[in-house]
Amino acid sequence: MKSYVIDSYAMIAYFEDEPGAELVSQILREIRDKKAKGFMCVINWGEIYYNVMREVGEGKAKKVLEKLNSYSIEIVDADKRLTLEAARLKAKYRIAYADCFTAALGKLKKAEVITGDPEFRKLSKEIRVKWI
């Protein structure tokens, strides 16, 4: 079965109907229909909240999280193993720490990372990326 780690970049593109939203929608349907597994790190879940809150307010941010929580995406806590892998990636590459959690989760779950964030190009030797 396919496994995906969905980056906050991809979910924000989906919620704002930006380029790549249709691909994210297709992946969400696969997850809903149990044709694939979906994961997101709690760090990136929080990243979605603060980005929406900053742009359009806390009320909208809460609604976006409710919608996100309605999908069959497993929100994975940042335990020691995941945090250590994220820290290793942060030390090795110049990318945002939150992105390191997405990449680390993809690596540990042997899952394809769904994103459009160009920072992930630096990680091409570490993870598989499906670009939106």
Look at residue 35 in the predicted model and tell me its pLDDT: 97
CATH architecture of structural domain 2-131: 3-Layer(aba) Sandwich (3.40)
- Identify the pLDDT of residue 83: 98
pLDDT of residue 25: 97
Domain definitions of the chain by residue range: 2-131
Label residue 5 by pLDDT band (50, 70, 90): very high
Q: Is the dihedral of CA 20, 55, 78, 35 positive or negative?
A: negative
Spatial CA neighbour of 30 closest among 99, 111, 120, 102: 111
At 106-120, the pLDDT tens digits run 999 999 999 999 999
Closest CA to 38 of 60, 14, 55: 14
Q: Which long-range contacts (CB under 8 A, 24 or more apart) does 77-82 make?
A: 77/42, 78/41, 78/42, 78/43, 81/108, 82/41, 82/108
Is the separation of the CB atoms in 64 and 49 below 8 Å? yes
